[in-house]
């Protein structure tokens, strides 16, 4: 366990989802409460089938359909800032539970390295990864195996270096374009620090 928890920030997706909900009736003709009632009336409890039904039967876009499904199945707390901040430490604990617990010190040291970049840098956990933001996402921390963390980086074209792996993100239009594999605290060397600084400085241009 870490000696002290970082101050997690609200994931930008939460604010976006709240905005979608606020405009849902104007864009779809029905409030979120109405959509929830419709889904519940169908007796659907699987997220995938809910999304498919909303898209195919009602013509909702993928983002809206997924959001309606999430609120229906998980409740309104899933898009509430306070609820997110309460859940954030649990997301991280779950990522490093069981066989992956040995990676937690490496994760915590990596988060501390990211936070030293700039007072404006924000750390935003999710269920499958921890994202690092300035204005946009600059890095993603993900336990890939029980013995390895993958650090994704928004480096754009032309970046290279020993140990830096092209993710194919540039061709797909993803912000995360490269990753580096980390297994020990000693891997957090000057190369990793430099790549993080580059991703931080390039924010807004890639």
SS (H, E, C) 132-149: EECCCEEEEEEEEECCEE
pLDDT score, position 37: 93
**Hey, where are the domains in the chain?**
12-79, 96-202
Assign residue 59 a region: left if phi > 0, alpha if psi is -120 to 50, beta otherwise? left
pLDDT digits (tens, 9 = 90+) for 84-137: 888 899 999 999 999 999 999 999 999 999 999 999 999 999 889 999 999 899
Q: pTM (2 decimals)? A: 0.77
Return the higher-pLDDT residue of 40 and 77. Answer: 40
d(CA 88, CA 131): 11
Predicted pLDDT at 130: 96
Instruction: Output the six-digit token pair for 165.
Output: 């792996």
**Tell me, what's the pLDDT at 170?**
82
Are 199 and 138 in contact by the 8 Å Cβ rule? The answer is: yes
Mean pLDDT computed over 182-188 = 97
> Which pLDDT band, with edges at 50, 70 and 90, does 5 fall under?
low
What's the average model confidence in pLDDT over 28-45?
91
Band of the pLDDT at 204, cuts 50, 70, 90?
low
Gap between the Cα atoms of 134 and 124, Å rounded? 11
Look over the chain and give the mean of its residue pLDDT values, rounded to a whole number: 90
In this prediction, residues 2-8 reach a mean pLDDT of 61
Residue 3 is predicted with a pLDDT of 43
What pLDDT was estimated at residue 206? Answer: 47
- 7 close to 125: Cβ distance less than 8 angstroms: no
Q: CA 77, 78, 80: angle at the middle one, nearest 5?
A: 60
Q: What is the pLDDT of residues 134-180, one digit of tens each?
A: 989 999 999 999 999 999 999 988 777 778 999 988 888 899 999 99
What SS3 state is found at 156? coil
Complete DSSP assignment for 56-90 = HHH---HHHHHHHHHHHHH-GGGG-HHHHHHHHHH
């Amino acid at each position: 366990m870490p000696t002290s928890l970082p101050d997690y920030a609200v994931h930008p997706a939460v604010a976006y989802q709240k905005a979608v909900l606020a405009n849902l009736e104007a864009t779809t003709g029905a409030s979120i409460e109405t959509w929830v009632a419709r889904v519940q009336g169908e007796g659907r409890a699987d997220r995938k089938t809910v999304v498919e039904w909303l898209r195919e039967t009602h013509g909702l876009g993928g983002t809206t359909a997924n959001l309606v499904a999430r609120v229906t199945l998980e409740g309104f707390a899933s898009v509430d800032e306070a609820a997110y901040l309460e859940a954030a430490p649990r997301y991280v604990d779950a990522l490093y539970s069981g066989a992956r617990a040995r990676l937690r010190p490496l994760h915590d040291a990596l988060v501390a390295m990211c936070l030293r970049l700039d007072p404006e840098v924000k750390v935003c956990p999710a269920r499958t990864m921890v994202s690092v933001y300035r204005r946009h996402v600059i890095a993603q921390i993900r336990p890939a195996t029980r013995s390895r963390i993958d650090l994704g980086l928004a480096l754009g074209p032309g970046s290279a270096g020993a140990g830096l792996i092209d993710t194919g993100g540039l061709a797909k239009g993803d912000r995360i374009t490269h990753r580096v594999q980390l297994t020990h605290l000693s891997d957090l060397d000057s190369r990793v620090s430099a790549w993080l600084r580059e991703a931080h400085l390039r924010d807004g241009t890639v």
